[in-house]
Amino acid sequence: MKIAVINFSGNVGKTTVARHLLLPRIEGAELIAVESLNADEGQGQALRGRQFGELQEYLQTVDSVVVDIGASNVEDLLGLMHRYRGSHEDFDCFVVPTVSALKQQQDTIATVAELAHLGVPASRLKLVFNMVEDGVEVAQAFDTLLAFIAEKPIAQANTGCRLGTNEIYQRVKGTGADLEALARDETDYKALIVKAQGTADKLALAQKLATRRLASGVVPELDACFVALGLGTGLARTALPVPRQVA
Ligand SMILES: Nc1ncnc2c1ncn2[C@@H]1O[C@H](COP(=O)(O)OP(=O)(O)OP(=O)(O)O)[C@@H](O)[C@H]1O
Ligand SMILES: [Mg+2]
């Protein structure tokens, strides 16, 4: 499974979606960050948009990859995909995270329109509605974008592909932490807090406890969003054994 995470807009959650929604749920996948600067979380390879040739070659050598395309490289990359005809076929799917601010909805429309223009079929072009507040309907918050898709069904817009606003993403940013591992952490922080001597130590432990609670809450939401995306791989971590194909 090879997935590109893309949007002309910055700050819509491309890196968050790549790292926390997709990477942990696609078996054996590695993360490639196409950023102008070094990869922002210190992991994965940093590639420039103009090194697209190398990226394409690399894609031929791996089975599963999530490519996080920094906003500053999207235009470059799409231009190169146009030049290297058919290169979009290297990806099984383009995941387009979006947020509800009007400018971002408009940029998202431009992004899916450009990808469709390159020849990416709607079945491979999927929106993720990010930073949706509790109690808010996706249909309402993203009305501009959804009206466009209703008129031109060039992308999949499943309203189940939604992620709430959650401070966990900010908390773990740059740490390389895996949310499911954090949620599974069985440390008895309360006991440790009682035993800890100084206030600073107690606070540090309290922070870890809070992070675990947030992680426990967000993992089921990420699981549900991933299922709604329908990438067809199942959950890597909880996957039942897949019957082997006999030739
Ligand atoms: N669902 C969410 N809830 C809360 N914060 C979020 C959520 N998604 C993303 N963020 C935060 O918003 C900021 C932007 O997210 P992110 O870095 O994933 O966006 P991006 O599209 O990769 O941006 P860029 O174009 O700069 O690469 C980050 O600080 C991230 O932690
Ligand atoms: Mg990013």
Q: Does the Cβ of 130 fall within 6 Å of ligand 1?
A: yes
Question: Which tokens in the block code for residue 204?
Answer: 């540090």
Residue 100 has pLDDT above 60, yes or no: yes
Whether residue 106 lies inside any domain: the answer is yes
pLDDT of residue 73: 85
Phi, psi at residue 62, to the nearest 5°?
A: -120, 155
- CB 66 within 8 Å of CB 5: yes
Domain count, the chain: 1
Whether residue 28 lies inside any domain: the answer is yes
- Outline where 62-198 has alpha helix (H): 71-83, 102-118, 138-141, 143-151, 168-172, 179-184, 189-195
Q: Is the pTM of this model over 0.85?
A: yes
Ligand 1 pocket: which of 5, 9, 14, 16 to mutate (most atoms within 8 A of CB): 16
pLDDT in tens, 129-187: 999 999 999 999 999 999 999 999 999 999 999 999 999 999 999 899 999 999 999 99
Q: If you average pLDDT over residues 62-68, what whole number do you get?
A: 95
Domain with 99 in it:
2-166+220-229
Question: Which tokens in the block code for residue 82?
Answer: 């146009």
Nearest atom of ligand 1 to the alpha carbon of 68: 22
Helix then strand then coil, in percent of the chain rounded to 5, is 50, 15, 35
Q: Does the Cβ of 161 fall within 6 Å of ligand 1?
A: no
The set of residues, in sequence order, having a beta carbon less than 8 Å from that of 132 and lying 6+ positions away, is: 100, 138, 141, 162, 163, 164, 165
Residue 242 has pLDDT above 60, yes or no: no
Q: If you average pLDDT over residues 219-236, what whole number do you get?
A: 84
| Domain of residue 45, CATH code | 3.40.50.300
pLDDT of residue 245: 54
Whether residue 209 lies inside any domain: the answer is no
Whether residue 212 lies inside any domain: the answer is no
Whether residue 171 lies inside any domain: the answer is no
Whether residue 241 lies inside any domain: the answer is no
Whether residue 235 lies inside any domain: the answer is no
Whether residue 95 lies inside any domain: the answer is yes
